[in-house]
Amino acid sequence: MSKIKPSKGAPYARIMGVGGYRPTRVVPNEVILETIDSSDEWIRSRSGIATRHWASDEETVSAMSVEAAGKAIADAGITPEQIGGVIVATVSHFQQTPAVATDIAHRIGAGKPAAFDISAGCAGFGYGLTLAKGMIVEGSAEYVLVIGVERLSDLTDLEDRATAFLFGDGAGAVVVGPAKEPAIGPTVWGSEGDKSGTIKQTVAWDVFHADRPEKFPAITQEGQAVFRWAVFEMAKVAQQALEAAGISPEDLDVFIPHQANMRIIDSMVKTLKLPEHVTVARDVETTGNTSAASIPLAMERLLATGQAKSGDTALIIGFGAGLVYAATVVTLP
């Protein structure tokens, strides 16, 4: 018989507060057209994107995260000292080690929390949310800060007509804490490694270090393959998340998919047959694709603008490089 005593965590977990940070520089499509042969109409029709935010030198991954985290902590009504874990989802923090989460934890005054980064592309926020839920239910932390943050402008090839217009920068954060009733549903997540080449970095860091190619590594993707996978396969994952939570599309108030592309979002809404009363996040139009930051940023904007309200039931789903995905149903803070 085991001598290890059982954990004393909360019965459930919930999102208690949300915060976002968008860089001050707004970049319209006209700027993108300086380096690719395209048009504003083509970009809007293919992606729905009109503008995106690009970070300045001062708006680092850590600095943007600190701003978003501060808002989320205030929104949750707790103090930084109560944070027992900091999870940062990002693919654009260039320092391999230490994790940027440790610097963020120090800068927000969180004391000595568990702090680590995860790399799960555009599904990173969903992965982090699931890990935070586990920490709270297991009892290793009472409150966990989950941050999705990207500076994808550093990894964008402005001469690549297929991707130059897609990516933006920003940070979104949530505080996850204890709950007396279910407020974060079971996560449907996974990966399809046989498709890992459809979204990838052009040159590995070790190759770049050895050969020093003229162009800095950037993100590239096979657009049509990704589109088909996202629309058809991720709609199935979203449906599984609804079923795991024990609800139907009619029970939803809000749908917050990864802000990859407006056509993907609209196609998923159609495939899922979401009722007209469901509010759909379309933050991509003015924020671009911010990978791990897109879901919390979209959540923050919906709540700030009144398009969604506290207590609403929301389906969130992230998907991207790997190819990886994560979907769950949550109650909005």
Active site (catalytic) residues? 122, 258, 289
Identify which of 205, 184, 194 has the alpha carbon closest to the alpha carbon of residue 324. 194
Structure-token match 């398009």, residue found: 307
What is d(CA 219, CA 268) in angstroms, rounded to the nearest whole number?
24
User: What is the arrangement of strands in the sheet containing 12-21, beginning at the earlier edge strand?
Assistant: 12-21, 169-179, 143-151, 83-89, 114-118
What is d(CA 138, CA 164) in angstroms, rounded to the nearest whole number?
43
For 242, the 3-state DSSP assignment is helix
| H-run or E-run covering 15 | strand 12-21
Q: Pull the structure tokens for residue 138.
A: 């297991």
50-85 per-residue burial string, b: 16 or more CB within 10 A, e: under 16: bbbbbbeeebbbbbbbbbbbbbbbebbebebebbbb
Locate all alpha helices (DSSP H) within the chain, ordered by sequence.
29-32, 40-47, 61-76, 100-107, 124-138, 205-211, 223-228, 234-245, 262-272, 284-287, 294-304
What is d(CA 255, CA 157) in angstroms, rounded to the nearest whole number?
31
| Under 8 Å between Cβ of 273 and 234 | no
What is d(CA 15, CA 282) in angstroms, rounded to the nearest whole number?
21
| Under 8 Å between Cβ of 328 and 180 | no
Angle between helices 100-107 and 61-76 (to 10 degrees): 50
Contacts of 265 (CB under 8 A, 6+ apart): 48, 257, 259, 280, 281, 282, 284
Structure-token match 């989950």, residue found: 146
